[in-house]
Amino acid sequence: MTSNQNQDIGAETSHASQGWSDEEWALRKDLAAAYRLMALFELDDSIYTHISVRVPGWHDQFLINPYGMLFRDITASSLVKVGTDGKLVEPSIYDVNPAGFTIHSAIHMAREDAQCIVHTHTVGGVAVASMACGLQPCNQWALQFHNRVAYHDFEGIALNHAERERLVRDLGTQHKALILRNHGLLTVGDSVADAFILMVNLERACRVQVAIQSSGQIVYPVPTEVCELTARQYESGASNRLPGAADPHAREWNAMKQRLHPSTAGRFDS
Q: Report CA 70 to chain centroid distance, whole Å.
A: 16
Domain that holds residue 142: 19-265
How far is 64 from 39, CA to CA, in rounded Å?
A: 15
- β-pair type (149-152, 184-189): unpaired
Q: Is-contact 215 208, C-beta < 8 A?
A: no
- Determine, yes or no, domain membership for 25: yes
Closest CA to 209 of 118, 154, 121, 143: 143
Q: What is the pTM of this model?
A: 0.89
Question: Which amino acid does the sequence have at 114?
Answer: A
State the CATH number of the domain containing residue 46.
3.40.225.10
Number of domains in the chain: 1
pLDDT digits (tens, 9 = 90+) for 30-58: 999 999 999 999 999 999 999 999 999 99
Angle formed by the axes of helices 98-110 and 163-171, to 10°? 50
Residue 24 lies in a domain: yes
Tell me: the pLDDT tens digits for 173-215? 999 999 999 999 999 999 999 999 999 999 999 999 999 999 9
Asked if the structure places residue 14 within a domain, the reply is no
**Is 241 domain-assigned?**
yes
